[in-house]
Structure 1
């Protein structure tokens, strides 16, 4: 034992526990230091030694300890008389008996060989541990100290050197093996187990002399977790033996299962000696569970009791996943509820000659050993001796060849015992033999055998490689066993695959046959706490439950999940949007005011109609250009105004269609320049009206400053200012198309960005300034004494113009998507129609329908006008 890292008090406590344990062990083995006397020095056993069940003398004795029975007799201790020695009781395990006979067969075979331990005879002593720790330790220590009832020495009490003990085979169970390994390891006595699989035994600091020919449960637990994950079971039950084998094995499995994302609904434990109420509680938990898969890390004894209890009131069909301890137990094939069970078993093989050795048993030979006698009588339900109870006596007609039980099964795991025995023989050979001969008188220590065991490497007759790694473990190789229904309705073991831990990661499994599941189905049954979440949803763990119990929550707006059982939803890229199932991202539809929309068609019709009306008015004015009403209203500015209005109507068309770099720059600059040209013309017409009346005053020469050249120059100047603003805007930060992703989440609004907001509002502000100035001047001139005062119509047109653009601003800001462009087009068309109707409609009406009023006298107000 290692005391590194312990405090002084911990040292004391551990030393005290060791002393107490050794005293107990001395009592168990029958030794007592109090019987040693000074003169003469002698020691004797307190009780009779534990006799081996099977034995044979030899130069070197190999111990064998097997759990042939399942219970020990117990009695109440009165502390007034010496307690009786415990004895094994209960039914016999025929499989364990087969292990003992396999060890016998291996030793007989080794003794007959000339290449292995030539001239050396191996013997054996085989004990029954009953699966109990106390019996296993007693047998091991008794074997290590020999069985002589008296010990004599001139100096001290010590054991006789009559028996050479190189190593020990056993036990079959992990818990007794752990207890023996802790004691024997202190003396470096090597122990080779054939069936103790607890992963804890791989710890060489605690068990330096322990070896085994069966893989560690660490590999089996990992393989079982991968198996459960492979078939999609995420909701399972677990039951284990309440022993080191079950507890350590299940702990390793649960850890591996958690890493694989598997949830355990329940984890129950049971040991065969516990009260029946505990067994009933475990069975009821299994019956009430919702998990349809159960992993059973049970020894054969606990599994038998559990299946018998479940058979009383069968649960719903369960998919059993078994450990190597019971998955190949022939006696369990009578439980039809286990049909379809799968699990990992140790590779089975046929050892040449073993079956013949096992069946070479007669009643006379069986009588030579109480163990074989019990086997014969249990197998044939008769007595080899006349029973006082009058039971049937065996009459010699019993045929051992007709037996069908684990003892006679040729495909067994007896090769594990066979390999363990051969490994010890090879280790002895390596210590006492050279190239030519072996020295039976050679002196050696147990740790020499232990060190030699670490180096053994040979192949058995059945083709299995035998070697141990640094932990004393073999390479983990398993058969995947499936319980399938035969044609006659019975169950049978079928190897459907293999698992080899030495293969590259992810390639450990190899399947050879199809698996038949519970109920004879070929499809894998499902066992989940919650059904899989389809794409488009994510898993949300239910409060207070394992992670395998969850709700499926639809992905939030703008998010998708394209896998089953997604933990999180992923947000689509900015230019994409989920489909209706929310399992893929599709490109967002691009929205703009396209030509084929109804709204665009209506606006286009109004735009072209407005331009056409402007052209028609211009044609009418040109045709009647000599008429007084045309000449009186400044025909040159009127034609220029009609030209600018035509451009205003047509510039609205640049706002329709897919925005591009050129269209964005053109629509804003064309709109700004044409409207300034239009308002400049109206402004000059208003100023001319004012100046014309001022020129009639005596001594006024105002009209010479507002003649046609000055009018043209003024209009050009006002327009050039707007051109300059537009040039600066386009130079510094021009309007360009951009994708508006914020307006709508499910689609993209393709619109023209303003670029520089200052430039945009400067253009609008300049137009507004000219319109406001024009409105003020027209308002001042509205009551001038003229028959046909154009200032009145200009006032109305400017009032409409200003009203339209004042309401445009909030509508423009609040309109969504493509309707922003539609509002802008509407403002352009409404203001343009307002100008052409207010300014030119009265004139056209007179020209076309009241030519009698289109005279100089009427214009000058010298002829009374008729009512319209």
Structure 2
């Protein structure tokens, strides 16, 4: 059946300020009731009706009309039902919080469910909560969306404008801590007075400027607006008066005030744009971003609006008033005798009306009303179905409802509307539908449209509750940059950190370069951070660069040079060993103790090749053995030199008749000297490996930008004991050889040993400061040079003179020549 207006009421607002957009709210209710009455699956054989009342935005009238909903009589006696009570199952109403709370004061007494379609009023008590529902998400969630929007565009310096009342104060007290907690500062807060009109615009502007000097600053490019119609009208007065009084003000002020700003509006401001459109230039709000109640297009709603005419339904006392305002015409029996407009024909179409005055697409508030009607209908249907089995055949067409019975059904109701959205109330009686984010786009003919550019959805997966499409946003044409900056000062670029300014808000700061060794890789970092141990700061101190490994690799030129020297000295040593073996029966070779010579040359050959263990990336086995093998082998070499020195002295002493040293002559004595002195070094190395062995290690800090891959010696004390013991053996050899330097030439190898030990000690004594002063791979290179240098010293001083005689002066390598030298 067609919907019927059960009660004729006066227009919703006075003619001069009637918002034609509100008429779509009424039509959305009619559309929903019409669908339900024609749907055999919901409340079959039952027809829904409705009453529509207007409170004229007046508290007293709100109470009066709420009572009128409950009783037929126009005389009211509290707590007494005078006359025939109306069969009211539920109430849909409350565009704002004030109206909703006043209606709830009465409805809760009679336990009648109320569904507010635009109010953010929360239940004030448990008793009220059972019968108060809202078709919008909580206002706190809207504040979350505002914060997310500001953070998305990195707006950290914003202004707040609200109404001068309880709602405005709650808004400021709730939002400001949330902004501060997210690093956003409020540059100014203004509570708009309701009596701020254009009667004295010059005074109004200077009053606003004097109270909010930061509004003039171009860095405050974003202003959040909350409040009712009077708030947005008062702001429009300020902006409009700026243009009209430009000749009375300094041009600088005019330009700074009229410069484009990004206005961020709340849901409460949505309907106020129509009033601005009627009395002001709407282009001042071009590019504004607003939160609106979530809506979806409903199948058939557009076609339904096309059928609306001034005579479309009996009892609609508002349609003619709306028609006259929309089409600027009048009916013959118009209530305004001064109306000289053209006569309304009734054939006009709402589809021809510009969208700012009447939208053919469903708005958020109309969508909430539509869902509220269906929520009541589904609850009634559920209650009817649960009791239908006990009804008589005659009563099955009637629905005797006690309003309090609907509570349990409304609380559990869950369904999908025709647009596919799920309708279900949470435990606080709210519909978690979220909000749409819209962009106000204005046109030169002083019209505008809202473009949906984002969504705030509490039911979305975590991290995806807020979405916005910046490419769809049209910004104000006077903005020099889009999206604009709204900061107390410029960003601190990477490589700098923020330093607070004394006496100013935390959003105002100085940018200081990061100290040495620290970086900042993002804008506006509170403090610089230290790079991980395996990274180091670049020159701009805005990123960490991986450190390069530092070790003596085989591919480096220095390593190739050392390898070539090692091979060269190894070949020389092998060549000398071959010469001595080939000429082992010659007097010179025999006179220098052939077995000790072979031991010395072999140990030198091994020692020279030990330097190869120091090249390449340190590994566990190379770290364990390179120092110990080198220490033992080199100790054998030095012990052999010491044995040769002692042998020379003993041989000279034994040449005297009856000397006791004659018994010490022989190979066994020389070998015992080598073995005994070498075993001491073996014992030191064994203790080293068993107590604190060397191991591969990483040095992150010694060299900037590099990771030194090294062998940690474990116990540095034992390491120096190994080196010190070799120097000790060399020192003894040097002393003994020095004292025996004047022995006859035929036995005199002491002077060559003296020079070799002098070279050996010089190399290893100079090794210590060089080892301590170098870092990374150069430490290894110093030790290799010391090994090769000391080995070369032994070869050069001890064996080169003999090789010279063997190869180049063979005539001197004879017994007769040696005896002649002795005599």
| Closer/same/farther in 2, CA of residues 436 and 479 from structure 1, 3 Å limit | farther
Quote the residue 1:305 is aligned against.
234
Q: 2:474 aligns with which of 501, 517, 532?
A: 517
1:282-303 deviation digits (Å, cap 9, x = unpaired): 8865453535444332323321
**Deviation (angstroms), 1:227:** 5.4
Q: Distance in 2 between matches of 1:737 and 1:110?
A: 81
Q: Distance in 2 between matches of 1:841 and 1:422?
A: 112
| 1:491 aligned counterpart, secondary structure | strand
User: Aligned runs of 1:834-853 on 2, under 5 Å?
Assistant: 834-840=793-799
Q: Which moved more, 1:171-180 or 1:465-474?
A: 465-474
User: Aligned runs of 1:717-728 on 2, under 5 Å?
Assistant: 717-719=676-678, 722-723=681-682, 726=685
Q: 2:343 aligns with which of 375, 378, 397?
A: 397
The answer to whether the Cα contact below 8 Å between 1:801 and 1:831 also exists between their aligned partners in 2 is yes
Q: 2:761 aligns with which of 796, 802, 813?
A: 802
Q: Which moved more, 1:755-764 or 1:461-470?
A: 461-470
Q: Distance in 1 between matches of 2:327 and 2:601?
A: 123
Quote the residue 1:68 is aligned against.
13
User: Aligned runs of 1:378-417 on 2, under 5 Å?
Assistant: 380=328, 394=340, 397=343, 401=348, 404=353, 410-411=360-361, 413=365
User: Aligned runs of 1:153-302 on 2, under 5 Å?
Assistant: 161-162=82-83, 164=85, 170-182=93-105, 184=106, 187-188=109-110, 190=112, 192=114, 196-201=118-123, 204-205=126-127, 209-211=131-133, 216-225=138-147, 236-248=158-170, 265-273=187-195, 276=204, 285-288=214-217, 290-302=219-231
Q: Distance in 1 between matches of 2:727 and 2:789?
A: 15
User: Aligned runs of 1:666-815 on 2, under 5 Å?
Assistant: 667-695=626-654, 697=656, 699-719=658-678, 722-723=681-682, 726=685, 735-741=694-700, 743-744=702-703, 746-754=705-713, 760-784=719-743, 789-815=748-774
| Closer/same/farther in 2, CA of residues 852 and 497 from structure 1, 3 Å limit | closer
The answer to whether the Cα contact below 8 Å between 1:98 and 1:407 also exists between their aligned partners in 2 is no
| 1:668 aligned counterpart, secondary structure | helix
**Deviation (angstroms), 1:335:** 0.9
**Deviation (angstroms), 1:705:** 2.0
| Closer/same/farther in 2, CA of residues 436 and 322 from structure 1, 3 Å limit | farther
Q: Distance in 1 between matches of 2:91 and 2:47?
A: 18
Q: 1:338 aligns with which of 285, 289, 302?
A: 285
Query: Which ranges of structure 2 fall in alignment gaps of 5 or more residues?
Result: 198-203, 243-256
Question: Do structure 1's residue 325 and structure 2's residue 246 form an aligned pair?
Answer: no
Q: Distance in 2 between matches of 1:307 and 1:514?
A: 28
Q: 1:591 aligns with which of 550, 556, 559?
A: 550
| 1:187 aligned counterpart, secondary structure | helix
1:210-234 deviation digits (Å, cap 9, x = unpaired): 4555655355445555555666666
Give me the TM-score of the superposition, normalised by structure 1: 0.68
1:25-47 deviation digits (Å, cap 9, x = unpaired): xxxxxxxxxxxxxxxxxxxxxxx
Question: Which protein has the larger Cα radius of gyration, Structure 1 or Structure 2?
Answer: 1
| Closer/same/farther in 2, CA of residues 274 and 824 from structure 1, 3 Å limit | same
Quote the residue 2:310 is aligned against.
359
What RMSD in Å do the two structures reach over aligned CA positions? Answer: 6.1
Q: Which moved more, 1:165-174 or 1:119-128?
A: 119-128
Q: Distance in 2 between matches of 1:716 and 1:451?
A: 102
Q: Distance in 1 between matches of 2:804 and 2:406?
A: 130
Q: Distance in 1 between matches of 2:22 and 2:230?
A: 12
User: Aligned runs of 1:602-641 on 2, under 5 Å?
Assistant: 602-611=561-570, 613-614=572-573, 637-638=596-597, 641=600
Q: Distance in 2 between matches of 1:810 and 1:659?
A: 23
The answer to whether the Cα contact below 8 Å between 2:53 and 2:65 also exists between their aligned partners in 1 is no
| Closer/same/farther in 2, CA of residues 767 and 476 from structure 1, 3 Å limit | closer
**Matched residue count:** 771
Considering Cα pairs closer than 8 Å and 6+ residues apart, tell me whether 1 or 2 has the greater RCO.
2
The answer to whether the Cα contact below 8 Å between 1:808 and 1:824 also exists between their aligned partners in 2 is yes
1:63-117 deviation digits (Å, cap 9, x = unpaired): x899725xxxxxxxxxxxxxxxxxxx97444445776798899999999999999
**Deviation (angstroms), 1:471:** 4.8
Q: Distance in 2 between matches of 1:508 and 1:323?
A: 18
Quote the residue 1:15 is aligned against.
none
Q: Distance in 1 between matches of 2:528 and 2:724?
A: 48
Quote the residue 1:832 is aligned against.
791
1:618-666 deviation digits (Å, cap 9, x = unpaired): 6776788777766665566556545544444444444334444554455
Q: Distance in 1 between matches of 2:727 and 2:378?
A: 110
Query: Which ranges of structure 1 fall in alignment gaps of 5 or more residues?
Result: 1-55, 70-88, 152-156
